[in-house]
Each structure stands twice: as C-alpha cells, then as structure tokens.
C-alpha cells in the first residue's frame, strides 16, 4: 500500500484544511486551536451529537466503515489526524492512501493493543509493570502464578477510563473473573502500589524535534481523571527521566504530533522509580491545563506538528490545577464562573451522564519567582 505522502512532505499554509477523525471534546479543542492559527478543520464522526461539529463549518457524520464517506472526507482536506486511538485500521488505510495521516498508522497498531504497547515499551528498555498475555482461564491461572497478586486483568483492546479492567485479589474466583471480562484477549499486569501517577505530554515534529510540557501529576476518581497539577511534585531528576522516557517513545514511533505517556511513580528501598502505564497517541485530558496555564497549548502543538510548522517552546505561567467537571458536576458551572482566576471550559455536550466528561476548569497560581 502506497501512503499518500510522508510526514516530511506536509507543509500547510494558513487557509488549508485539517481533517479530524473523532468528534469529542479533544477534536473540538483541536479545531479551536487550528482556527486561531488560520487553519480550517473538518470533522468525521459517526455521532450526530459530536461536540466538535459545533466549531467547524464542514462535518461528515458517517460510520468509519463507510468507504465513500471516508473518500469524500479525504478529498476535502490536506492532512488527516485523529483524536482517539481506536480508529479502525481499515479506515486509516483508506485515508492514508489519499492524504497523509499523522501520527502514522503504525502508531495505531502499537497503541490499540495493550500487549503490543507493553512489548514495544519493554524493547526500548523502559520499565513497565510485569505483565503476561492471557487468552483463557488456564492461561490466567498461569499468569497469576507468574506475576502474583494483587494484579490487574485488562482487555487488550478498547479499554479506557478503567473500562474492561478487573483487579484480582487473593481468594477471588479466577474463573469467574475470566468469564466476566468477556474477552479472549487480555493481559494481566502486576498491581503497582504507586506513590503517584504522572504524565508527560510531548510533541514531535516531522524533523524529529521534541518538546515536552512540564510533567503533570494526575489524580483519578473511579478510574476517571479528576484533577491534574503541573508541575508534578517530584524531584527534578525524576521529572527529567519522565521527559526522557516520553521523548524516547515518540522518537521510536517516528511520531508526528502530540502524545501522552502515563506513568506510575513507585517508591522503594532504592528511591523513586518510573514505570510506564500507557501511551495515548493523541492530545490528552492531563494536558488540558496547557490551554490556560502555558504560552502554547497541547492542541496548538499538535496542530503545528501535523501542519509541518515549527513547534512552540511552551512557557508555564505558574502552578496550574485542572479540575474535570464529570457528570452532574457540570451543573455547577455558574459557581465556577464566579471563582476568581478560574477559566471554565464547557464541551457543549447534551445530558450529563455519570462518568461523562462535560467540561473542565483551570486555575493558575502565578509563580512569585516568575514575576
Ligand atoms: P489504564 O486504563 O491502564 O490507564 O488504567 C486506569 C487507571 O487504573 C490508572 O490510571 C491507574 O490508576 C489504575 N491502574 C491501571 N493499571 C494499574 C496497575 N498495574 N497497578 C495499579 N493501578 C493501575
């Protein structure tokens, strides 16, 4: 299969059009960042209620299996990117034959499958939780014998926000856990008694330049990100190591665009250590603080990278906190609007279902040293 163009041939001009696969809040914020740089966006999403549709002139509402709709979409845009990692391989192939797709399709193959992703990270010599492939109840028993308990069983594909995961503890009925996970393709990971969770948002350009945002510390509630703080309260040497890991991953993937690497910080006798949990080949919720807390946002960095434009050198404005408004919490938006220094983002979604990310709030505490 011949790709339409390689990344190093993409050089957009103001007025050119970016195609975004996926119409959620990430696509919406990407399109807004593109507009500020004089670039247009078209959004492709099967969901008629896509929040990204509201901010672009042209939207394609069709299934990812609709070849004709994909072709029409590709013909209308200059470069294609995505806001979620589960883009079907066949759709990516059809699009890549017509227009450059950035980040490249191989990135999707690696990051859509937890086992392929862990193998990839391990090959780079970067630490992960111990893991084993699980395809049957018998192999789950074998994996537990190898890895020990507690452990986390995860579906290899289509898991997000803790969906498709189960913690297994001593005394659990392993066969029942296997039956409940409802897949034949899973991995078992050692449960990491982490001290904190951090992430690095990195941007890489087609010529291999990498820019990382300051390391972010993340707090989850019910497996969903609730709060991010930048910078993470970790020693400088550890922050440097986290950035080095993200850069090594971006480079090894020949990545163009923004990616997020989620990591665990583990404290043991020899001091703090970092293990990689997951790679998100896209802009990420833990980078939303950059919209108001830094001179350049993750969304703008992504647009610059895929446009073939120079990356920015982001300057953080101070200590930044990002709070997600999840489900009914969004109903408090008027209260947030009156909080001094708070910036409110609402995604324009319909009903606030439990667990649904409806908006977020950023608060920046200026660093006295920077005044
Ligand atoms: P994931 O979908 O892999 O990002 O997992 C969602 C959340 O579950 C993570 O942010 C962690 O809080 C928790 N988690 C996932 N894997 C592990 C693990 N191996 N050990 C401990 N906690 C985990």
What is the structure's pLDDT at 5?
52
Q: Of ligand 1's atoms, which has the minimum distance to the CA of residue 262? A: 4
Q: How far is the CA of 165 from the centre of ligand 1 (A)?
A: 9
**Residue 204 to residue 212: CA distance in whole angstroms:** 9
**By C-alpha distance, which of 33, 35, 41, 42 is closest to 62?**
42
Q: Where are the domains of the chain?
A: 7-101, 130-190, 196-370
Mean pLDDT (the chain, rounded): 95
Give 234-261 pLDDT, tens digit per residue. 999 999 999 999 999 999 999 999 999 9
Region of residue 15 (left: phi > 0; alpha: psi -120 to 50; beta: else): left
Give 97-140 pLDDT, tens digit per residue. 999 999 999 999 999 999 999 999 999 999 999 999 999 999 99
- The arithmetic mean of pLDDT across residues 337-355, rounded, is 96
pLDDT above 90 coverage of the chain, percent: 92
Q: Is 213 helix (H, G, I), strand (E, B) or coil?
A: coil
Give 149-190 pLDDT, tens digit per residue. 999 999 999 876 667 899 999 999 999 999 999 888 999 999
What is the structure's pLDDT at 270?
84
Best probe residue, ligand 1, of 163, 186, 277, 280 (max atoms within 8 Å of C-beta): 277
- The arithmetic mean of pLDDT across residues 291-314, rounded, is 98
Q: Of ligand 1's atoms, which has the minimum distance to the CA of residue 190? A: 19
Give 19-39 pLDDT, tens digit per residue. 999 999 999 999 999 999 999
Q: Ligand 1: residues whose CB is within 6 Å?
A: 129, 152, 159, 162, 189, 191-192, 197, 220, 223, 262, 277-278
Give 60-100 pLDDT, tens digit per residue. 999 999 999 999 999 999 999 999 999 999 999 999 999 99
Length of the chain: 371
What is the structure's pLDDT at 368?
63
Q: Does CATH place domain 130-190 in 3.90.1150.10?
A: no
Q: How far is the CA of 192 from the centre of ligand 1 (A)?
A: 8
Q: How far is the CA of 131 from the centre of ligand 1 (A)?
A: 13
**By C-alpha distance, which of 55, 58, 61 is closest to 348?**
55
Which residue minimizes the CA distance to atom 9 of ligand 1?
223
Task: Please give the CATH architecture assigned to the domain spanning 196-370.
Answer: 2-Layer Sandwich (3.30)
- The arithmetic mean of pLDDT across residues 323-348, rounded, is 98
pLDDT at 2 over 60: no
Q: Of ligand 1's atoms, which has the minimum distance to the CA of residue 277? A: 3
**Residue 148 to residue 144: CA distance in whole angstroms:** 5
Q: How far is the CA of 151 from the centre of ligand 1 (A)?
A: 10
H or E, element range at 221: strand 216-221
**pTM of the entire structure?**
0.96
Q: How far is the CA of 140 from the centre of ligand 1 (A)?
A: 19
Q: Do residues 330 and 361 make contact, with C-beta atoms less than 8 angstroms apart?
A: no
What is the structure's pLDDT at 273?
95
What is the structure's pLDDT at 1?
47
* CATH class, range 7-101: alpha beta
């Amino acid at each position: 299969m011949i790709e339409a163009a390689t990344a190093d041939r993409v050089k957009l001009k103001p007025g050119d059009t970016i195609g975004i696969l996926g119409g959620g809040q990430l696509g919406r914020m990407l399109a807004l960042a593109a507009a500020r740089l004089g670039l247009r966006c078209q959004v492709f999403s099967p969901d008629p209620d896509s929040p990204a549709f509201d901010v672009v002139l042209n939207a394609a509402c069709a299934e990812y299996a609709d070849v004709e709709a994909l072709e029409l979409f590709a013909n209308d845009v200059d470069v294609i990117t995505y806001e979620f990692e589960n883009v079907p391989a066949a759709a990516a192939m059809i699009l890549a034959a017509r227009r450059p797709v950035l980040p490249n399709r191989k990135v999707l193959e690696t990051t859509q499958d937890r086992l392929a992703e862990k193998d990839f990270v391990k090959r780079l010599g970067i630490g992960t939780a111990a893991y084993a492939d699980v395809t049957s109840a018998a192999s789950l028993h074998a994996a537990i014998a190898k890895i020990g308990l507690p452990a986390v069983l995860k579906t290899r594909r289509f898991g997000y926000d803790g969906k498709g995961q189960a913690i297994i503890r001593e005394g659990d009925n392993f066969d029942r856990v296997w039956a409940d996970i409802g897949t034949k393709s899973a991995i078992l990971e050692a449960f990491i008694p982490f001290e904190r969770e951090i992430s690095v948002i990195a941007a890489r350009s087609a010529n291999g330049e990498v820019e990382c945002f300051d390391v972010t510390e993340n707090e989850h509630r019910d497996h969903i990100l609730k709060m991010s703080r930048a910078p993470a309260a970790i020693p400088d040497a550890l922050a440097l190591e986290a950035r080095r890991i993200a850069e090594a991953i971006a480079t090894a993937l020949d990545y163009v665009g923004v990616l997020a690497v989620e990591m665990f910080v583990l404290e043991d006798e020899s001091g703090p250590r970092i293990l990689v949990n997951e790679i998100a080949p896209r802009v990420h919720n833990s980078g939303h603080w950059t919209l108001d807390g830094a001179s350049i946002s993750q969304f703008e960095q992504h647009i610059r990278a895929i446009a073939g434009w120079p990356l920015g050198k982001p300057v953080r404005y101070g200590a930044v906190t990002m709070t997600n408004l999840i489900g009914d919490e969004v109903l408090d938006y008027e209260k947030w609007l009156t909080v001094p220094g708070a910036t409110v983002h609402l995604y324009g979604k319909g009903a606030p279902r439990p667990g649904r990310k409806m908006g977020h709030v950023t608060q920046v505490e200026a660093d006295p040293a920077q005044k």
